Amino acid sequence: MSFLLSVTALLMHPRYMIGVIVAVSLGYMASEVTQALPNGAAEGAVIFVAYVTTNLLLTGRTGIEVFLLGYLLAVVRSLVIFLLPRLKR
C-alpha cells in the first residue's frame, strides 16, 4: 500500500511525499506496538492522522485525495488478486 500511496503522491503533488514518508514511518512503528490486535485498523488510523497532520502543517491542505486514491488502487489490486483465480475456473 505504501508504494501505491508514494507513487500517487509524487504524481499529484511532490510536496505530499513528505507526509507519505512520515506516515509510513509511523505506521511501521505502530505495527510493532499493535501486533496483538486482530487487524490493522489502529495502524491505518495512525497513518491517516500522521499524513493529514503533516500535510496540514506543510502545505495548508489535507491531501486526502492522494490518500484515498492510493487506498483505492490497493483495494482494486487486492480484489483482482483475489477474484482473478476464481474467475478462471
Domain residue ranges of the chain, discontinuous segments joined by +: 2-87
Distance CA 67, CA 40 (A): 16
Share the mean pLDDT of the chain. Answer: 83
pLDDT value, residue 4: 66
Highest mean pLDDT, choosing among 7-21, 23-37, 61-75: 23-37
Would you state the pLDDT for residue 72? Answer: 82
- What confidence tier does 76 reach under pLDDT thresholds 50, 70, 90? confident
Residue with cell string 476464481: 86
For helices 16-33 and 2-12, give the axis angle rounded to 10 degrees: 170
2-16, 49-63, 74-88: range with highest mean pLDDT: 49-63
Read off the C-alpha cell for 6.
508514494
